Amino acid sequence: MVVPKKSLGQHFLVDENILGVIGRLADLGRDDVVLEVGPGLGILTRYLASRVALVHAVELDRSLEPHLAGIERTVLHWQDALELDPASLVPPPGKLVANLPYNVATPFVVESLDRFPAVALSCVMVQREVADRFFAVPRTKAYGAVSVLMQLATARRGFHPVSREVFRPRPNVESALVAFERIAPGVDPAVKRLVVAAFGHRRKTLANALALAGVATREQAVAALAELGHGAGARAEELAPGEFVELTRALP
């Protein structure tokens, strides 16, 4: 019996009924090469491997090897997904399909926008609050840096709430499947730096937040915001994703 490791954010998928929903949202095809992070006991891995050309399964917990060894059309990568070298995935994956461990879900998805440019479509299981954050709209509590970065590079294709009963152990939070497709190669580093700085001090005005982060002086930020039609008191959550690109261009 495998005991899930809380330190790794493990909640193993045990209910196969959800697999059909994943397959539909991921639009799986026989020629697909898929990246799966956190395969756990291999339930999703086996489902994917029976429907696609190849699965790159990335798992940190070596104790799961008896459950994952020998799955057809699957290459196992025993390492931390956040340290995964994209060049090691041959052929490169075109889709990301995974029940992501809670402790890496947000950083992995955000970093994948730049690290895995060949991934055109993703379908990931994450905490419900994380899924809501990905495509939150301006002026809402969930809207933040992650929302902006995700929406500059992707568009949501599907969303499906997931019962806690499909996991072992049963998590204390709600989960959801969210599918999204790439609409841009990634986020420009200058824009990314500005976005992270803008939401680094949510209680402060955007101009003050950028000044504190050293991205621009307050005066420069106020002038740039004026070009976009925003006053000096504007806060980061008021700007739509595309306006952060415009703001970056307007700064000296």
pLDDT, tens only, 161-175: 988 777 766 667 889
Distance from C-alpha of 123 to C-alpha of 86, rounded to nearest angstrom:
18
Q: Can you name the CATH fold of 189-250?
A: Helicase, Ruva Protein; domain 3 (1.10.8)
Where in the chain are the domains?
Answer: 6-182, 189-250
Q: Which amino acid is located at 247 in the chain?
A: L
**What is the predicted pLDDT for the residue at 103?**
86
Concatenated DSSP letters for the chain? -PPP-GGGT--EE--GGGHHHHHHHHT--TT-EEEEE--TTSHHHHHHHTTSSEEEEEES-GGGHHHHTT-TTEEEEES-GGG--GGGSSSPPSEEEEE--TTTHHHHHHHHHHH-TT--EEEEEEEHHHHHHHTPPTTSTT-SHHHHHHHHHEEEEEEEEE-GGGEESPPSS-EEEEEEEE-SS---HHHHHHHHHHTTTTTS-HHHHHHHHTSS-HHHHHHHHHHTT--TT--GGGS-HHHHHHHHHH--
Ordered per-residue pLDDT tens for the chain, 252 residues: 555 555 555 567 767 788 999 999 999 999 999 999 999 999 999 999 999 999 999 999 999 999 999 999 999 999 999 999 999 999 999 999 999 988 899 999 999 999 999 999 999 999 999 999 999 999 999 999 999 999 999 999 999 998 877 776 666 788 999 999 999 999 999 999 999 999 999 899 999 999 999 999 999 999 999 999 999 999 999 999 999 999 999 999
**What is the predicted pLDDT for the residue at 146?**
98
CB 97 within 8 A of CB 112: no
Give the homologous superfamily in CATH for domain 6-182.
Vaccinia Virus protein VP39 (3.40.50.150)
Distance from C-alpha of 250 to C-alpha of 190, rounded to nearest angstrom:
12
Beta-carbon count within 10 A of 98 CB: 30
Tell me the whole-structure pTM to 2 decimals. 0.92
